Amino acid sequence: MLRTHTCGELRADAVGQEVTLCGWVDTTRDHGGAVFVDLRDRYGKTQVVAAPESGADVVEAFKKLHSEDVIQVRGKVAHRPQGTVNPKLATGEIELRVTEVRTLNQCTSPPFTPTQIDLPSEDLRLRYRYLDLRRPAMQQTLLLRSRIIKTMRDYFAEHDFIDIETPILGRSTPEGARDYLVPSRIHHGKFYALPQSPQLYKQILMVAGFDRYVQVARCFRDEDLRADRQPEFTQLDMEMSFVEADDVLAVIDGLVARLAKEILGVDVSTPLPRMTYDEAMRRFGHDAPDLRFDMEIVDCTDLARRADFRVFRSVAEGGGHVRGLRAPGAASQYSRKKIDELTEYVQQDFGAKGLVWFRVEPDGTLWAPVAKNFQAELLAEIAQRMEAEPGDLLLFIADSWDVTCKALYGLRKRLGAELKLYDPQTLHCSWVVEFPMFEYDDEEQRWVAMHHPFTAPRPQDIEKLQSDPGACRAQAYDLVINGSEAGGGTIRIHDPRLQQQVFDLLGIDEASARDRFGFLLDALRYGAPPHGGIALGIDRFVMLFGGLDNIRDCIAFPKTQRATDLMTGAPGIVDPRQLAELAIEVTDFEDDETDEAS
């Protein structure tokens, strides 16, 4: 070992000890006769001092040190002189009086340093990820991630789950996200697909009798990125046999409570609250509502039908919906200009035709530019329905059910943050259950699975598979934390006939089902136990537990929004011989002359 201690562990009780430390030069303070260096490693910082008694050569060497040089220092731990203790530093009571210094490696002038006050732009951070990862905040996040994963693994191990790995090179399955493909060298024209999740394998493991499976699984989806979405991400994937939905939920309830306790020191009472999908859409316009604050959607379609105001009446009479939100005390904070911004927001992002708003006056009446188009009694009824208080702002969307959901969800999220309706520190975990089995895809003119095609319908809804697919509810559940989908799962179909029935509805005929999922259908015939499970988004757990607003900060080496790695240059062009071996011809090269990986 090149060191006897880390830079974070020496305290007053070590005074007098001869120690050796290694680390990075964080900052230097050169006073001429004495030079102070804060030496940093992932455990902390320790002040190391070169003074005349260290010897002239040590002082000279210290004067030449630069940010991020890697050094080894030997010396005696000493109390700091009175009045020079640094309470901001865990090691601030002591310092190391250096007698020997050795530069292990020099650092050329870095584009930024881990301790600089203003964070550099994100592209620089990504390009020099090793420098960014030296920042204590990043190190803490990766430590948090490690602890979360360990807690999860411990929990499942204690509950008799077996950790089993599943292939990365798999077979492309239709439905769901776009696959990342890997060409086969041996079978020209054929491709492996990277897993979107280990879904089918874990079902097969249930058939194989591993009645409790768990895996920390890397998953890949070739779709456009977001602040909380990366092309490769990590799931805590689990599956259980001989269970019903409640059993899976109970296991995860226990895990969430354990994580909250061990990681955050917070008590979460279980079982976690549950809400059906229909209720979530009705009250919050979204299947992952942020329940840290109220502000529920209020339906005023019936009142709108009686309005003189043509926009409201025509939408209501035409089968649309008029729903609104009450933004408490927001009237004074939202100028006409800011309301115009909200209008633009709902139009641009959600395709709403407009935003109708009212200000609640001190006497409780509603005022708006369009108020004159309403009968006074009706305005009073609307105010009453909305439980309006003076100073509130009422916002309405008159549109299709779908658009009112999306737009009001967006408004609620935005207003909740802007009006500070919740404490960002709090953690709210809940379940949304009984998702629809199917959604109708207008473009493709067919039903598609909302979750995946192996999801079991609720027993009482099986007959609706034929008669009314849209009303059929699934044994599906999502774990929602602070308005974010943190995980989702289902009870699976274990009956091959029911599975084929679902395939039929999805337009997957028996032949193509055989072709694509024959192995699963076969397996279901060889004694498949009833089973179900869930997958939790580990990156999102880290994000939520760490109070972070972006998934890249939760991943050591993330991709940019355009799915590139600024450090390695991936994806890069490959040698034509590699393509020839794979019998692949590129017909449309990206115009890219700055490819540094080539």
Strands (E), 346-428: 356-360, 366-367, 393-399
Token pair belonging to 432: 């949304």
Binding mask 407-436 for RNA (x = CB under 7 A): ---x------------------------x-
Stretch that binds RNA, among 141-149, 210-218, 343-351, 500-508 (CB under 7 A): 343-351
- 573 forms part of the interface with RNA (CB under 7 A): no
Choice from 17, 67, 276, 365 touching RNA (CB under 7 A): 67
- 585 forms part of the interface with RNA (CB under 7 A): no
Residues in the chain: 598
For the segment 282-341, give every residue that binds RNA (CB under 7 A).
287
Residue with tokens 């974070």: 8
- 74 forms part of the interface with RNA (CB under 7 A): no
- 107 forms part of the interface with RNA (CB under 7 A): no
- Provide the residue type at 183 as one letter: P
Q: What are phi and psi of 264, to 5 degrees?
A: -110, -10
- 562 forms part of the interface with RNA (CB under 7 A): yes
Stretch that binds RNA, among 254-262, 297-305, 348-356, 515-523 (CB under 7 A): 348-356
- 60 forms part of the interface with RNA (CB under 7 A): no
Choice from 120, 271, 329, 354 touching RNA (CB under 7 A): 120
- Provide the residue type at 372 as one letter: K
Nearer to RNA, 83 or 318 (CB): 83
For the segment 201-230, give every residue that binds RNA (CB under 7 A).
221, 223-229
Pairing mode, strands 44-50 and 94-105: parallel
CA distance 572 to 60: 46
CA distance 319 to 232: 42
- 485 forms part of the interface with RNA (CB under 7 A): yes
Q: What are phi and psi of 368, to 5 degrees?
A: -165, 160
Q: Which whole-number Å values give the CA distances from 87 to 83, 92, 293, in the listed order? A: 11, 6, 38
Stretch that binds RNA, among 79-87, 321-329, 457-465, 518-526 (CB under 7 A): 79-87
CA distance 539 to 236: 10
425 neighbors 492 (Cβ within 8 angstroms): no
- Provide the residue type at 27 as one letter: T
- 445 forms part of the interface with RNA (CB under 7 A): no
Cα-only R_g, the chain: 30
- 467 forms part of the interface with RNA (CB under 7 A): no
Nearer to RNA, 88 or 577 (CB): 88
- 42 forms part of the interface with RNA (CB under 7 A): no
What is the per-residue DSSP string for 341-404? HHHHHHHHHH--S--EEEEE-TTS-EE-TTGGGS-HHHHHHHHHHTT--TT-EEEEEEE-HHHH
Nearer to RNA, 313 or 414 (CB): 414
Stretch that binds RNA, among 9-17, 366-374, 502-510, 560-568 (CB under 7 A): 560-568
Query: Minimum distance from CB of 149 to RNA (Å)?
Result: 19
Choice from 371, 450, 521, 579 touching RNA (CB under 7 A): 450
Query: Minimum distance from CB of 144 to RNA (Å)?
Result: 19
570 neighbors 558 (Cβ within 8 angstroms): no
Choice from 5, 44, 134, 197 touching RNA (CB under 7 A): 197
Q: What are phi and psi of 110, to 5 degrees?
A: -80, 150
For the segment 523-542, give every residue that binds RNA (CB under 7 A).
535
- 557 forms part of the interface with RNA (CB under 7 A): no
Whose CA is closest to 506, among 438, 553, 572? Answer: 438
Nearer to RNA, 328 or 488 (CB): 488
